[in-house]
Structure 1
Amino acid sequence: MQRVGISVCLTLGFAFHVHASPAVVQNALGMGFSELPAATFTMGTVDLDVARAEYPDPGKADIGDETPAHAVRLSHATLMAVTEVTQEQWLRVMHNKPGPAEYWRRDDWARLPVVGVDWFMAQRFTEELGKLDDTFDYRLPTEAEWEYAARGGTDTLRPVDVEDLQHYAWYIDNSGDAPHPVASREPNAFGLYDMLGNAWEWVADRYARDTYRLDADGPSPALDPRGPGSGESRVRRGGSYHCPQRLVRPGYRTADTPDKAYSVLGFRVVAVPRR
């Protein structure tokens, strides 16, 4: 394991410039992971009216599953991937090319987020990646881990003003309705790129509309929540290059059955040190 300072150059051919204090760890394949300490944070949307105001018809904005905002305690440090899994990383591990063929023909194909993967494929990638590494196991982030990472220490609607969102995320207003190389926008305060926009990201949790209500009704803070124990759909987060601005924020929740694979849907991974 290699620890680095402000800038880490990956063997996959591009550099990440981390603007904040979390250390960046590299795995055996040169993938970067930001070390996020254990923390308590506010999960969910604090002011739903502010979120609804961005919709063409605020009264029809079906976003009640983002409330109530509630305290969550992550009792462990998290090694969150600095970027979404790229097409080159996927190819090196899985030896196939999912998603639209046109994305693999682009000159910048290697740095594009891999898309067109269902939840099961993402899980399989974590398993295969672990076989290539003696130091870490890998998994999808929980929904709570993902939201904490995306918020970057904030509890506002977005971690940046909406006027500045274009500098941090690829979405329909600036993407040309196509994916872009990872880490080509600014990172958030935790040194993570594309937590918002570019590609939707699968997380580990099953989806339930009342998840936050159940967590809020229990002991506070909710300790390391992992979603409901049953249910078919899995959560995806963050928005994509195809999304309008109103969906590109840390609190927005949506889900699909785990067999769904879309050209806007990818993932990132968490590294777990082996003991």
Structure 2
Amino acid sequence: MRLPVALLAVSIICPLTTLAAPVVENAFGMRFVELPAATFWMGSVDLAEARADFPDPADADIADEGPAHRVTLSKPTLMGQTEVTQRQWLAVMQNRPGPPSHWQRDDWAELPVVGVNWFMAQRFTEELGLLDRAYRYRLPTEAEWEYAARAGSDGLRPMPLAQLGEHAWYIDNSGDLPHPVAGKRANAFGLYDMLGNAWEWVADRYARDTYARRAAAPGSARDPQGPELGERRVRRGGSYHCPRHLVRPGYRTADDPEQRYSVLGFRVVAVPRAGDDAR
């Protein structure tokens, strides 16, 4: 199914005052929250607290979450308000990745698309951009993703643990199944499912010592793009299948970019073409 030609001509700017930040809607009904330029703490400020969140702190191999360091995002970011859905994927790519059972559900259209590898997610951004005269699209950087997920907090999570289930689908409340996007409360920035529901690919390559190198190199924490070398790509946020200790903004993991999981999807960033610096 191709998107209607009438939807390809322009994108519509549509402020929604009910959310914490301005929201724009493109011609295809995808919404993006406008996050301002900012400086924030990236990484886990208290690694001891993060380890204590694990069932067995001795098994908490999370040294890659530190050291916490100040990162500057010098430009506003139009972050996808939700994970890319199966409906959106089908309209652009005309195929159905992931478990067939997800596509057979009555609520299939608004489930996060999963079973896509990093290259497939990247291809979606390129194909969507070809259909849109107003925006191009890309995966968020790891820094952009974490800033969006933290939503102004530098703690273990942007909400008390007792409220995690109000904001995230994870193993304790999901029934070990994905759920339609935006079914839980948005975070303070007005973004949904930054934690839980589906893991999310980001643009960056993974290195265990990324934060240590960045903290030691003045200037490298401004609009960081991740390591220049490395095979694996970062995924973030946890999923409906995850226990709570993996469902937090600071947790990092990575996979081969060819890897496909039934719990792994993505969201996209929109970049206005006017004045686009192809960052």
- Out of 8, 14, 25, the position equivalent to 1:4 is 14
**Aligned partners of 1:79 and 1:95: how far apart in 2?**
25
Which residue is 1:90 aligned to?
89
Equivalent residue, structure 1, for 2:100: 101
Paired with 1:192 and 1:56, the residues of 2 have a C-alpha distance of: 28
Alpha-carbon contact 2:236-2:253 (below 8 Å) kept: yes
Give % identity.
Answer: 69
The equivalent of 1:15 in structure 2 is none
* 2:19 aligned residue: 19
Judge which range, 54-63 or 213-222, deviates more.
213-222
Q: By how many angstroms is 1:28 displaced?
A: 1.3
Which residue is equivalent to 1:134?
Answer: 133
- Which 4+ stretches in 1 moved above 4 angstroms? none
1:6, CA displacement in angstroms? 3.3
Match of 1:149 in 2: 148
CA distance in 2, matches of 1:95, 1:133: 17
Greater shift after overlay, 96-105 or 45-54? 45-54
Map 1:35-184; keep pairs closer than 5 Å. 35-184=34-183
Map of 1:31 onto structure 2:
30
Q: Which residue of 1 is the match for residue 4 of structure 2?
A: none
Q: CA deviation at 1:60?
A: 2.2
Write 1 or 2 for the structure with the bigger share of strand. 1
Instruction: Tell me the distance in 1 between the aligned counterparts of 2:242 and 2:213.
Output: 29
Deviation at 1:2, TM superposition (A): 2.7
Which residue matches 1:269?
A: 268
State how far apart, in whole Å, the 1-side matches of 2:200 and 2:234 are: 8
Distance 1:60 1:68 in 2: 19
Query: Could you give the per-residue CA deviations for residues 190-229 of structure 1, whole angstroms, max 9, x where no partner exists?
Result: 1100000000000000000000001101116710111100
> How many pairs are equivalent?
264
Residue 59 (structure 1) shift: 1.9
**8 Å contact kept, 1:170–1:240:** yes
Q: CA deviation at 1:30?
A: 1.0
**1:162-241 pair list within 5 angstroms:** 162-219=161-218, 222-241=221-240
Q: What is the CA-CA distance between 1:146 and the residue it aligns to?
A: 0.2
Q: CA RMSD in A?
A: 1.0
CA contact (8 A) 1:33 1:81 kept: yes
- Residue by residue over 1:78-126, the C-alpha shift from the partner in whole angstroms, topping out at 9 and shown as x without a partner, is 0000000000000000000000000000000000000000000000000
1:274 and 1:249 map into 2 onto residues whose CA distance is 33
Partner Cα distance (1:66, 1:128) in 2 = 33
- The CA deviation at 1:19 is 3.2
Q: Is the 8 A contact 1:72 1:222 kept in 2?
A: yes
Indicate the SS of the match to 2:113. Answer: coil
8 Å contact from structure 2 (residues 40, 71) kept in 1: yes
How far apart are 1:56 and its partner, in Å?
A: 2.0
Give the whole-Å Cα distance in 2 for the aligned partners of 1:65 and 1:115: 26
SS at match of 2:13: strand
CA distance in 1, matches of 2:121, 2:115: 10
Task: Name the structure 2 match of 1:13.
Answer: none
Unaligned regions of 5+ residues in structure 2, if any?
1-10, 275-279
Contact 1:71–1:221 at 8 Å: present in 2 too? no
Does the Cα contact within 8 Å between 1:90 and 1:114 map onto a contact in 2? yes
TM-score, normalised by the number of residues in structure 1: 0.94
**Is this contact kept in 2: 1:70–1:221, CA < 8 A?**
no
- Shift, 1:129, TM fit: 0.3
**TM (normalized to structure 2)?**
0.93
